[in-house]
Amino acid sequence: MPAAPLPRPGAASTDARRPAADLWRVDLRELGRRAGSMQELDRSLPAPEGLRVELIGVPEGAPVQLHLRLEAVMEGVLVSGDLEAPLVGQCARCLEDVEDTLHLSVQELFAYSGSTTEATSEEDEVRRVDGEHLDLEPMVRDAVVLALPLAPTCTDDCSGLCVDCGERLDDLPADHSHDVVDPRWAGLAGKLTPPPGAPGGTNPKEN
Ligand SMILES: [Zn+2]
Ligand SMILES: [Zn+2]
């Protein structure tokens, strides 16, 4: 007798055909509205586009791991927990590729429509439950973008690039310097110096 298939995260084939944005919407019917009821949400969702700042971000479609707890409270649904997402970017000092993993904690109240919280807060002050759903994407987007470093570095003490030759200083010997005049310029300097005994001025008309 075949066992009833258990839903596995990411295994729902119907989800693959839906727009990714829908995956971030959580159906609240199972949780219900009785204050104190609770639901664990462990999911891996594809990152939406634009989870980035200038030099680093979460690649679109990369797995964002959510370990969240949804708790029905008087005013709405309290969402708290952790998330993890892969980061790809560039070192702000030497431009080398940087890969990292972002770990974040979140805690936000999604207010029910008609709740006191909703009635007494401005539109953008509080997140809202949307009918029987709540949309995790804007919360995750705000939290991730805020947490991204504006100047990521490949190592904690990356020395950056040599201002003279543009090579990574960490790849060069410690005594790397450009104090010595480049031989090509030294040769040119010799040609520009008038030979001994030649007239000081160079006036073409004198020939
Ligand atoms: Zn670097
Ligand atoms: Zn150099």
- Output the CA 61–ligand 1 centroid distance in Å: 26
Q: At CB < 8 A and 24+ separation, what contacts does 27-35 make?
A: 27/132, 27/133, 28/70, 28/77, 28/129, 28/132, 28/133, 28/134, 29/132, 31/70, 31/72, 31/77, 32/72, 33/72, 33/112, 34/72, 35/72, 35/73, 35/74
pLDDT tens digits for range 114-128: 888 888 888 777 899
Which residue did the predictor score with more confidence, 1 or 144?
144
Question: How many whole angstroms separate alpha carbon 137 and alpha carbon 20?
Answer: 10
Nearest ligand to the CA atom of 96: 1
Query: What is the mean pLDDT of the segment spanning 28-45?
Result: 95
- The residues facing 45 across adjacent strands are 64
194: confidence class by pLDDT, cuts 50, 70, 90: low
- Output the CA 191–ligand 2 centroid distance in Å: 26
- Output the CA 90–ligand 2 centroid distance in Å: 21
- The residues facing 46 across adjacent strands are 63
Question: How many whole angstroms separate alpha carbon 187 and alpha carbon 197?
Answer: 20
Nearest ligand to the CA atom of 164: 2
Nearest ligand to the CA atom of 159: 1
Q: Cα–Cα distances in Å, from 162 out to 85, 142, 156?
A: 33, 36, 18
- Output the CA 149–ligand 1 centroid distance in Å: 14
For the whole model, what pTM was predicted? Answer: 0.72
Q: In whole numbers, what is the pLDDT of the chain averaged over residues?
A: 84
- Output the CA 75–ligand 1 centroid distance in Å: 47
